[in-house]
Amino acid sequence: MLRQYELVDLVKSYDPEADEDALNRAYVFAMKKHAGQFRTSGDPYYSHPIEVAGILTKFRLDSSSIIAALLHDTVEDTDTTVEEVRSLFGDQVASLVDGLTKLAMIEQKSGNSKQAENFRKLLLAMSDDIRVLLIKLADRLHNMRTLSYCPVDKRARIAKETLDIYAPLAERIGMQEVKDELEEIAFAELYKEAHDSIVARLNFLREQGSNIIPKIIETLENDMQENGIEATVTGREKTPYSIWRKMQSKNASFEQLSDIMAFRICVDDISSCYQALGVIHSKYHMVPRRFKDYISTPKPNGYQSIHTGVIGPEDTRIEVQIRTYQMHEIAEKGVAAHWAYKQGQKAEGRHFRWIRELLEILEQADNPEEFLENTKLEMYSDQVFCFTPKGDLIGLPRGSTPVDFAYAVHSRVGDTCVGAKVNGEITPLRTVLQNGDQVEILTSKAQHPSTEWERFVITGKAKAAIRRYVRATQREQFISLGKEILERLFKGENLEFSDRVLVNVLQHFEAETIEDIYAKVGEGLVTGWDVLKMAYPAYKQSKLDKMVKSIKAPLFRRKKKNNPIKIKGLIDNMAVNFGKCCHPLPGDRIVGIVTTGKGVTVHKIGCKTLSKFASEPERWLDIDWGDDAENEFHTARIKVMLLNEPGALGDLSNLIAKEGANISNLNIVNRLLSYFELLIDIDVKDVEHLNQIIANLKSSKVVRSISRAAE
């Protein structure tokens, strides 16, 4: 543990103007407040914030950040208040401590959404001041270093969260050293067998070629000197976790990897980088597809370097990284290397493009889990770099499409995207973009996001925007449906239906507007009868009982309403689903059931499932097929007894195909000596189409019997 004077000396070594008095007071304050508290390792608790502060000095952070690190647990774990911190150490320190305290409080919550909510809070805090993230990463790093003292189940959760969130965030802000150490500890905890295997192989290679790295370094140094390039050459092994991830992604064995060893050449300026590259490529054979120029096209986190794979000295396949000393400083320390806070500036995170994009996803996400899912997509994928027609560079995850590109340019461009030109040629929107593609997005004010896009987009920003549109569309449908339900219910009971009546019940249903009431009813979260009884408390229960009894009568006795609700299929109506119990088709008599979270589920009249809703008349809707329903394909289920002989299944599928239908699922439910009993789902247009198929199958010699299936 760092002593008080040692910590102050470290800060003063890179920031002579640091507030020495405040640093000393913060050190003593933390020790006093945490006195009597101990960590699971048995160490005094105050050793933790002191070690966190020590980690931050390696990244030359300002004194406000160091003081906040010393105090980051005092508000949460002691009787200290944020206002007390503010009065003793100023607004900046208090703001940082407050942000870190809120994060810690979220981390203690239980439930499946904890990790997602934790990440959401972290994003909001770091968007206000990026130093919150730097302190949090140092806090997580020290906790990971002492992970072995935690209970086994807690260790696994912390390690997984570290791999999922904190290591990718460290990479995003360019803190390579922190990222590597977080990944190494978490990897060893979660995948011990794989970790130990890779470490053993690395040790074996080290023993077999103990002098190969020094030899390669010496040869590369001579190559640079002979060509008049002043350079520093270093060599290193890739981390076990990065090796394991590459083995996973490339489905390759350890022996098949070509870049386990990497060598770095640091020079004074950019022109020397390309001069050094020329020397390497002129002397050694380049490995195809192993060249990347991150100097001309930097990574989103500011990382710059040239990477190339060659058959280098000693006939060894190696990776060579070429960069300037300044680039190397940024590569190792990331955002901390920019030293943005020396003059007491507030280091807002919103000027980082990736943080702005995550904030957009946060605004569009429906819940914390969806936000976490989409942001993981943003943080994990390898990058491809594409250009706008004006030459602006857009970095995207590998596998991205023109729709992802459109949303990366601007949300409005994505929402109105109708087509794309890639390298001057019109291409489908699902086309996978490649490095260096020039992409022009074609837009139309009449366009809106398509639900089909979500099947092929890659970026979290695109997925979040599409889901936002779907939710907005669904809400409109739920509002329309809910209003229809309530209007018919109230008028059927000869009760006034008006905004004045509904305003009085808003508070009871935790609704801010009347549309919220409609949406809750349409989605099935609230029943129409609940609203009616709350609006008219004196309404006689006997009338309700009478309605319940009448609904239990046979369905064909139910009176047909004058204005049945029309349905148009599933493509543009996300609030309608078809019952998988009876597979209704155009031509069938149907009824709608309001289903929680799904809108309306359509059933055939006579479906056995309907008996479950006999006592809930408010959920029943008279509906009818739309005029264009037969223009879409619908799933029907048939039960077939098929002769057990070679070619029978082929004959069956051919007969179905000849009728213009398609088999979407097939299940053998019973095997007999002479026959198979099959349940087959086929896509047909309507009942007439299905009946034609059944008639043709009945005439086949391989079909013993056939009927429309129902549960």
CATH of the domain at 315: 3.30.460.10
Q: Which amino acid is at 320?
A: V
Residue 407 lies in a domain: no
Residues 146, 48 within the same domain: yes
Separation CA 545–CA 529 (nearest Å) = 12
Residues 229, 318 within the same domain: yes
Residues 33, 175 within the same domain: yes
Residues 473, 530 within the same domain: yes
Residue 431 lies in a domain: no
Residues 535, 667 within the same domain: no
Query: Do strands 232-237 and 285-286 pair parallel, antiparallel, or not at all (unpaired)?
Result: unpaired
Query: Do strands 620-625 and 565-567 pair parallel, antiparallel, or not at all (unpaired)?
Result: parallel
CATH of the domain at 38: 1.10.3210.10
Residue 28 lies in a domain: yes
Ranges in the chain, pLDDT < 70: 102-128, 208-210, 255-259, 300-301, 334-383, 540-575, 596-599, 617-618, 627-631, 710-711
Question: Is 76 annotated in the active site?
Answer: yes
CATH of the domain at 687: 3.30.70.260
Separation CA 318–CA 308 (nearest Å) = 8
From 190, 213, 228, the end of a domain falls on 190
Residue 296 lies in a domain: yes
pLDDT of residue 501: 84
Residues 32, 60 within the same domain: yes
pLDDT of residue 66: 94
Domains in the chain: how many in total?
Answer: 5
Could you tell me the residue range of the domain that residue 34 belongs to? Answer: 4-190
Q: Which residues of 573-594 are buried (b: 16+ CB within 10 A; e: fewer)?
A: bbbbbbbebbbbbbbbebbbbb
Residues 168, 266 within the same domain: no
Residue 35 lies in a domain: yes
Residues 186, 69 within the same domain: yes
From 592, 616, 632, the end of a domain falls on 632
Question: What 3-state DSSP class applies to 41?
Answer: coil
Residues 220, 308 within the same domain: yes
Question: Is 77 annotated in the active site?
Answer: yes
Q: List, in order, residues 6 or more apart from 531 with CB less than 8 Å away.
A: 486, 502, 505, 509, 517, 521
Query: Do strands 576-578 and 599-604 pair parallel, antiparallel, or not at all (unpaired)?
Result: parallel
499 is written with which tokens? 């905004």
pTM over 0.75: no
pLDDT of residue 343: 39
Residues 366, 492 within the same domain: yes
Task: Please provide the DSSP assignment of 511-569 as one string.
Answer: -SSHHHHHHHHHHTSS-HHHHHHHH-TTS-HHHHHHHHHHHTS-GGGSPPPSSPEEE--
pLDDT of residue 341: 40
130 is written with which tokens? 């990026």
Residue 574 lies in a domain: yes
Separation CA 401–CA 459 (nearest Å) = 9
- Which one is catalytic: 43, 77, 373, 616? 77
- Which one is catalytic: 6, 15, 62, 76? 76
The sheet carrying 703-708 orders its strands as 662-671, 675-684, 634-643, 703-708
From 632, 662, 681, the end of a domain falls on 632
399-444 confidence digits (pLDDT tens) = 899 999 999 888 889 989 989 999 888 888 989 998 778 899 999 8
Residues 698, 601 within the same domain: no
Q: Do residues 127 and 350 touch, judged by C-beta distance below 8 A?
A: yes
Residue 84 lies in a domain: yes
Residues 565, 614 within the same domain: yes
Residue 517 lies in a domain: yes
